[in-house]
């Protein structure tokens, strides 16, 4: 029986790459959710807001895995009365998932959780999954959601896998030298998130970075994917350091 997977933020770049590939592969029974329209899908589609707790409980019902990609963009960070920030919305969604019996959450996080490492050193300090050095409130809230995931694992026996995406543009072309280190290509993204959805091994809580191979004998990406490789079995197909870095070095 195929796993039933709910994807929030499914109209975005990452979400679209995932569901389009997974529908072609006929991998999962998908439910796609976003506040924006989703067109061209053969899966169940719902327009909803992750801040709507009642609706999130309904959508989480009879699902096996939650892939949480949605993000609440805002300037006031919850300062306005009644406004729900991204971390508040994520916590409500996680609780709805728990109450409805979902046992695994795959969370789209960001390298900005440890983004201060890029400001401390040049080249940047190596960022690992146990580091929390946010460079913004965006990074801080993503890190808070990872801490919430730790509670779900310890307190409720759930599984939580966080993928701190370096850069995702939906293309295979880096925009500059930095992207040669950080870019996650569409096919590597589909592989990595699919491995996270499928994983049922002994590790209950995992934070790893999401990038393509992006290294050679001389240049190593500063984002650690050892957890994805060693735990999930990730084998990235693209390596922007080998295929594109020399082009930018010649231009500089």
For residues 140-168, give the mean pLDDT: 98
pLDDT of res. 73: 85
Q: What is the pLDDT of residues 167-187, one digit of tens each?
A: 999 999 999 999 999 999 999
* Mean pLDDT (the chain, rounded): 95
pLDDT of res. 76: 65
Q: What is the pLDDT of residues 83-109, one digit of tens each?
A: 888 999 999 999 999 999 999 999 999
Residues 6+ apart with CB under 8 A from 59: 6, 31, 33, 46, 48
Q: Where are the domains of the chain?
A: 4-251
Question: For residues 154 and 242, what is the distance between their CA atoms, to the nearest angstrom?
Answer: 41
Considering the segment(s) 4-251 as one domain, its CATH architecture is 3-Layer(aba) Sandwich (3.40)
Q: Helix 137-156 to helix 86-99 angle, to the nearest 10 degrees? A: 20
CA distances in angstroms from 144 to 49, 150, 166, listed in the order given = 20, 10, 18
Residues 6+ apart with CB under 8 A from 135: 112, 115, 116, 118, 119
C-alpha closest to that of 162 among 203, 227, 108: 108
pLDDT of res. 181: 95
């Amino acid at each position: 029986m195929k796993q039933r997977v709910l994807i929030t933020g499914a109209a975005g770049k990452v979400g679209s790459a995932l569901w389009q590939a997974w529908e072609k592969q006929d991998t999962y029974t998908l439910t796609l959710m976003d506040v924006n329209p989703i067109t061209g899908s053969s899966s169940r589609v719902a327009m909803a807001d992750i801040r709507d707790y009642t609706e999130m409980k309904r959508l989480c019902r009879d699902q096996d895995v939650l892939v949480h990609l949605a993000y609440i963009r805002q300037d006031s960070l919850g300062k306005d009365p009644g406004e729900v920030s991204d971390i508040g919305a994520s916590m409500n969604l996680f609780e709805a998932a728990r109450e409805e019996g979902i046992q695994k959450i795959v969370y789209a996080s960001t390298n900005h959780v440890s983004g201060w490492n890029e400001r401390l050193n040049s080249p940047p300090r190596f960022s690992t999954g146990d580091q929390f050095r946010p460079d913004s409130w965006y990074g801080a809230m993503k890190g808070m959601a990872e801490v919430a995931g730790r509670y779900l694992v310890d307190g409720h026996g759930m599984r939580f896998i966080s993928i701190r995406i370096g850069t995702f543009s939906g293309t295979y072309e880096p925009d500059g030298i930095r992207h040669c280190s950080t870019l996650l290509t569409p096919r590597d993204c589909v592989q990595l998130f699919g491995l996270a959805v499928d994983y049922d091994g002994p590790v209950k809580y995992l934070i790893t970075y999401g990038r393509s191979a992006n290294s050679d004998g001389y240049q190593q990406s500063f984002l650690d994917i050892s957890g994805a490789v060693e735990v999930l079995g990730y084998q990235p197909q693209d390596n922007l350091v080998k295929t594109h870095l020399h082009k930018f070095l010649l231009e500089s």
